[in-house]
Structure 1
Amino acid sequence: MRKILIPTDFSKNAENATKLGVELFKYEICEIYIMHAYAAEVYQLDPLMEPHFLKSLQQRISKMVTTKLYGIEEEIKKISPNPKHKISSIAKFGLLLDETRDYADLEDVDLIIMGTRVKTGDKKITFGSNTLQVIKYVKCPVLAVPESYHGLHPQNILFSTDFLLPFKRRELKLICSIAKSYAARLHFLYISNSKELSSRQKENKNFIESFTSGIDVKFDRVPGKDITETVNAYVQDKHIDLLVMTNARHSYLENILYTSSIEKIGLKIQIPFLVLQNLQRI
């Protein structure tokens, strides 16, 4: 059974991410948790509020949030009735990052689904601060869904990797499960000017080959040094509809996430982006 956590701020962006997540895993037995953390909504009104007023306000907002979450539950059950899915909602008095991390650990969540924005004109992925913080600090895969993207039925999945890090079985299983559900081709893209793999790279690649038995898998090596340009071109050329990368120490993705232009990734795509985690965090 797959456990999926979907934090929501009740925006159209979050609504779209929720619907896409429910649709993507319609063939699997899932527990889907829809969560809203509302501490910021309480404190932004008056951070110096006296305790008894604060408690009263907290109770009112909690009731309002619970009602909204119930409405989302009912809407999902109405538009996507699925006996394989158990949907529940959680209202938490706390900050979104803290509550997401704690709940993901508590329930051993397999995947977090959140929304992203795409800038009009240049079509670059722009993570909202909440999505970005979750990707950086929660030890769980995150599926970032562009606000304009609807109905994910992947036929071509791209996993950009250098084969240097060992792959986690649980996260590979997630990708393979999606590929199997939609009979999708799984592309492993290695961007390098060197044709030869090291012993470690060969070992990791061999593990992938054995783990993905029965799936349509394609391994490609593309020469070059500009990962961003190469990935963009590959996405367009191969009609990729789901991009996968791993967030690891000193990786291409980590370098982007921790740069000064932290909210902008140069990947000019409008497809869902699955970020796997290979980081040990405190």
Structure 2
Amino acid sequence: MKNILLPIDFSKGAEISLLFGLQLAQKEKAKAIVLHIVSPYGGLTEGVFQIYDYAVYLDEKRKALQDYISKFRTKNNIQKVVVETICESGIAAEEIINYSIKNDSCLIVLGSRGTGNISKILLGSTSQSVMSMSKTPLMIIPQGFKFESFNKKVCFATDFHLKFNKKSLQLFDQFDFLNKATIEFVHVHSAKQEVFREKHAELVALLFGKLKIIIKYILSDQFEESIDAYMQASESGLLVMLPHQRNFLYYLFFSGHTLAVVKKLHYPVLILYEG
């Protein structure tokens, strides 16, 4: 059974992504795994080291997580989905990525404006190297975004260097939000840049021949502004990106400036990974 990993840190941003993730799992008939990572130093009085039973503390956190999710599902009327809750100790970013690999998660859903550990570590500049090593597609949900706005129009911002890893490519077969959507491949290019339209069309047809595809070109030197304007004009419900290591798009996306822009977006961003 395909599964979606939903890390939470109990921040406001995490609640929004949790609600979205549970609704997505329910619609896609996927298992939702809610993961909360507890600091190894949790339970200690601030500024004071004391002897205590950490195993008992962690068990209390597990029970609290189960109770929280049960009430959250009832409050939001999300009952027709299989949910597993996991509470472990460790460093949030590393544990989330390791867990997604160990349990073969298809997708990680994360909020973009949380104030707890997850957003600081996964979306902060200090964790960019950890993020770049992830093999599991990551969907970032902006604050205030509602599942009802998640429509069947997808914008894939691309330079047509489409070398997906297995998990990223499988996503298009596994999930209806992609394989039943209209996917618009949007290429932003400068006047000096040569455009190979026929090759692009052949590549997209080879990879996604069974999907409803549209290819569009935007002549501009402003990548971020052009994509953002296109997203708003086309009313697309999802932006897809495939950052490349040691490539313009990779540094553009994972730079602190662009991460700050992503956190302010009004639509979800799906980050795929290379093979």
TM-score (norm 2): 0.81
Q: Which is richer in strand?
A: 1
Give unpaired runs (5+ residues) of structure 2.
none
Q: Distance in 1 between matches of 2:207 and 2:161?
A: 17
Superposition CA RMSD, Å: 3.0
Shift of 1:46: 5.3
Equivalent AA in structure 2 for residue 38 of structure 1:
V
Q: Distance in 1 between matches of 2:22 and 2:243?
A: 24
Counterparts of 1:1-282 in structure 2, within 5 Å, are 1-39=1-39, 42=42, 45=45, 49=49, 53=51, 55-56=52-53, 58-75=54-71, 77-78=73-74, 79-82=77-80, 85-117=81-113, 128-132=119-123, 133=127, 135-151=131-147, 152-168=149-165, 170-175=167-172, 177-179=175-177, 183-192=180-189, 193=191, 194=193, 196-197=195-196, 202=199, 205-259=201-255, 261=257, 263-265=259-261, 269-278=265-274
Cα displacement string for residues 197-232 of structure 1 (whole angstroms, at most 9, x for unaligned residues): 28xx92x65343244334322110111221111101
Equivalent AA in structure 2 for residue 159 of structure 1:
F
Identity %: 20
Q: Distance in 1 between matches of 2:255 and 2:27?
A: 38
From the superposition, tell whether residues 165 and 186 of structure 1 become closer, same or farther in structure 2 (CA, over 3 Å): closer
Q: Quick check: 2:142–2:265 contact (8 Å CA) kept in 1?
A: no
Q: Quick check: 1:110–1:141 contact (8 Å CA) kept in 2?
A: yes
Q: Which is richer in helix?
A: 2
Q: Distance in 2 between matches of 1:214 and 1:257?
A: 29
Structure 1 ranges of 4+ moved more than 3 A: 43-48, 75-78, 133-137, 167-170, 178-181, 193-196, 256-263
Q: Quick check: 1:256–1:265 contact (8 Å CA) kept in 2?
A: no
Q: Give the SS at the match of 1:4.
A: strand
How many residue pairs end up in the alignment? 261
Q: Distance in 2 between matches of 1:104 and 1:92?
A: 13
Give unpaired runs (5+ residues) of structure 1.
119-126
Q: Quick check: 1:228–1:267 contact (8 Å CA) kept in 2?
A: no
